[in-house]
């Protein structure tokens, strides 16, 4: 990139939903504005105040349906009155909205128009019953498939992918890796106080995740433990140029540098070309690695979009950590655990930390920031000085909108 771009001042609210002790579906819960205010105001405090910000980017998937609220750019001045009359933009790319916000922020900074950007992702989904939520989430795919799709639309989509993978590589073999992915996710989430599964006290995670998928009660090839949960949360961070760091008096040791980024899109109206591969993810990762001039052997940790356990396994194959068809074995052998060869989703990922759709891509970047600056608390992994890079992969829809970003501690 022609200019150096950094991220700093990351913050996550609690990822609220079933699994958290505070969650009670019968009681009123925090609304959209609460999460935006908490995450945004905390990040602003960490960078010296709103007067240092040139513009705001808010990522969100579907507040118009979940919260009856559109025009989210107008929430920037609600965060702080010093953002009044400053530019604010909302971006949307389904579950990949947060990654798009980061890419948009990078481009704004590279244009020279701004030096400090507040990037914030938010989603409040626990406002409707699951049957209605399935309809809302389905617009992240091709809506004309909704009537012929499963009642649980996206679990159905990835159940189909899992089924094809079972046919090609064996069900028992594949399920073994998916089960271990779940175990890793919950164990990691238990180390992060903001995670949705932080309070999970299950003493036999492997047995729980071994529940046989049942199409009569859910979908054919996934159990509920293979799925990320419905979550309410917001995440925020600041994107800055070197001039921005000076303005905000931010030290390099409190930042990580964005080395490269890539975005890839596929046709939302089409079915997967190969249901056993995430081809758009493969494309985005390849472009990001090429632009960064690095190999995967230099990456110390990855935050990937494990909306379902099978998606996590397919993603690590798409990156290249495991050969095609070898992903389940790679996971079941412990390679993606927090003390493994390449730790994935160190605070639980979408399955363990939660999946507040529009915030997920921002949360992933906050996690990489915490890890590479060694400020992840109990969730801190051991860093290898010979592997200085981190990676995030944020996916919207069924592998349709994908961003891949590579980071390094400066």
Residue with tokens 């939302």: 268
R_g (Cα) of the chain, nearest Å: 20
Residue 161 within any structural domain of the chain = no
Residue 60 within any structural domain of the chain = yes
pLDDT at 312: 98
What DSSP string describes 97-153? HHHHHHHHHHHHHHTTS-SEEEEEEEEE-TTS-HHHHHHHHHTTS-GGGTTTS-SSH
d(CA 201, CA 297): 35
d(CA 115, CA 241): 5
Residue 345 within any structural domain of the chain = no
pLDDT at 36: 98
Residue 295 within any structural domain of the chain = no
Average pLDDT over residues 180-196: 98
Question: pLDDT tens digit string along 117-140?
Answer: 999 999 999 999 888 899 999 999
Pairing assessment for the beta strands 232-240 and 389-396 based on DSSP bridges = unpaired
pLDDT at 338: 97
Average pLDDT over residues 221-247: 98
- φ, ψ of residue 10 in degrees (nearest 5): -75, 145
Average pLDDT over residues 232-237: 98
Residue 196 within any structural domain of the chain = no
What DSSP string describes 326-395? -HHHHHHTTTTSTTSSS-B-TT-HHHHT---GGGHHHHHHHHHHHHHTT--GGGPPPPPTT--EEEEEEE
DSSP state at residue 54: S
User: Against a cut of 0.75, is the pTM above it?
Assistant: yes
pLDDT at 341: 97
19, 200 in Cβ contact below 8 A? yes
% of the chain residues with pLDDT over 90:
96
What CATH number does residue 28 fall under? 3.40.47.10
Average pLDDT over residues 182-190: 98
pLDDT at 52: 98
% of the chain residues with pLDDT over 70:
100
pLDDT at 147: 85
The DSSP bridge partners found for residue 240 are 6, 116
Structural domain harbouring 12:
5-129+230-253
Per-residue CA distances from 151 to 33, 146, 160, 219, 287 (Å): 30, 8, 13, 9, 36
Residue 104 within any structural domain of the chain = yes
Query: What is the pLDDT of the chain when averaged over all its residues?
Result: 97
pLDDT at 150: 87
Question: pLDDT tens digit string along 313-326?
Answer: 999 999 999 999 99
Number of domains making up the chain: 1
Residue 149 within any structural domain of the chain = no
Question: pLDDT tens digit string along 38-77?
Answer: 999 999 999 999 999 999 999 999 999 999 999 999 999 9
Residue 37 within any structural domain of the chain = yes
Per-residue CA distances from 45 to 141, 166, 359, 376 (Å): 38, 49, 20, 19
Handedness of CA 94, 100, 102, 108 (dihedral sign): negative
pLDDT at 175: 98
Residue 2 has pLDDT above 90, yes or no: no
């Amino acid at each position: 990139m022609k200019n150096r771009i950094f991220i700093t001042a990351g913050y996550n609210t609690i990822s609220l939903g079933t699994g958290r002790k505070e969650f009670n579906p019968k009681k009123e819960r925090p609304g959209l504005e609460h999460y935006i205010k908490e995450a945004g105001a905390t990040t602003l405090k960490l960078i010296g105040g709103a007067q240092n910000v040139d513009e705001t980017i808010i990522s969100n998937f579907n507040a118009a349906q979940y919260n009856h609220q559109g025009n989210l750019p107008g929430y920037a001045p609600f965060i702080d009155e010093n953002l009044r009359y400053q530019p604010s933009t909302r971006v949307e790319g389904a579950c990949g909205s947060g990654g798009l916000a980061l890419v948009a922020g990078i481009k704004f900074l590279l244009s020279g128009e701004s030096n400090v950007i507040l990037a914030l992702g938010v989603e409040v989904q626990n406002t409707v019953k699951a049957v209605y939520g399935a309809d809302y989430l389905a617009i992240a795919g091709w809506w004309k498939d909704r009537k012929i799709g499963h009642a649980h639309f996206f679990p159905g989509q990835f159940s189909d992918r899992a089924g094809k993978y079972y046919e090609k590589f064996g069900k028992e073999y594949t399920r073994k890796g998916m089960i271990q992915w779940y175990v890793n996710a919950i164990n990691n989430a238990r180390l992060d106080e903001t995670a949705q599964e932080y309070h999970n006290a299950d003493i036999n995670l492997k047995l729980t995740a071994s529940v046989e998928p049942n199409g009569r009660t859910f979908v054919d090839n996934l159990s509920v433990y293979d799925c990320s949960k419905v979550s309410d949360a917001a995440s925020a961070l600041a994107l800055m140029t070197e001039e921005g760091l000076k303005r905000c008096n931010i030290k390099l040791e409190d930042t990580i540098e964005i080395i490269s980024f890539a975005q890839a899109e596929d046709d939302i109206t089409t079915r997967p070309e190969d249901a056993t591969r995430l081809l758009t993810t493969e494309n985005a990762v390849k472009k990001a690695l090429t632009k960064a001039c690095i190999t995967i052997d230099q990456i110390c940790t990855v935050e990937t979009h494990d909306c379902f356990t099978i998606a996590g396994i397919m993603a690590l194959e798409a990156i290249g950590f495991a050969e095609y068809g070898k992903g389940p074995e790679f996971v079941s052998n412990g390679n993606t655990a927090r003390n493994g060869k390449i730790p994935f989703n160190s605070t639980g990922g979408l399955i363990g930390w939660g999946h507040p759709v529009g915030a997920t891509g921002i949360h992933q970047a906050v996690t990489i920031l915490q890890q590479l600056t060694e400020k992840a608390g109990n969730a801190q992994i051991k860093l290898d000085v010979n592997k200085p890079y981190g990676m995030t992969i944020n996916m919207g829809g069924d592998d349709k909108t994908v961003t891949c970003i590579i980071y390094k501690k400066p």
